[in-house]
Amino acid sequence: MTIREIVTHPNEILRRKAHRVEKFDKELQTLIDDMIETMRAEPGVGLAAPQVAVPLRLIVVEYGEEEQDVSPKLYVMANPEITRASVETEKGVEGCLSIPGYVGEVERAVEIVVRGQNRFGKPMKVKAKGWLARIFQHEIDHLNGVLFIDRTDKVWKVEEETQAVQVSKAE
């Protein structure tokens, strides 16, 4: 496994719509493993393939509720689509590994259902709420060339000592 370089704004790959994953081959498995290692090394809670300069519809998410004494759950999803989103929304502070040092307040659906394929191409569905739903929406935005700064009018630079806490919560 290799830690890959994270592409940062304003690199134009972050603004392009990513391509469907068609082949679930050894090359894709290597990419997935590298993305997981890269996400954990940063540290982040989500990463989309375009963030490591690969224009594929592929995300990795690892998150667990802090109150629960359980290890975070890892999700790998190819070709994710939000098939249902709650009418109820809430604002939350998000950061992004591709926009280091900045955060913004973004309004997102509180609950969503995401359908896609697992790392081997088998269909999968995730029902997510709260921060997990926020992370999935953020990562799926990356696959459509959308960044959190496009969804907010309030972005600010994070102080060095609080950056690790806020960014690790929001991405």
Give me the active site residues, please: 139
Cis amide linkage into residue 123, ω under 30° from 0: no
Cβ burial, residue 69 (10 Å; 0-12/13-18/19+): exposed
Q: What are phi and psi of 117, to 5 degrees?
A: -130, 145
Q: Which residues does residue 18 pair with via DSSP β-bridges, in sequence order? A: none
Which amino acid is present at 160? E
Contacts of 153 (CB under 8 A, 6+ apart): none
Residues near 161 by beta carbon (within 8 Å), at least 6 away in sequence: none
Nearest to 82 by CA among 46, 43, 52, 114: 114
Distances (CA, A) of 113 to 83, 109, 137, 152: 6, 11, 10, 23
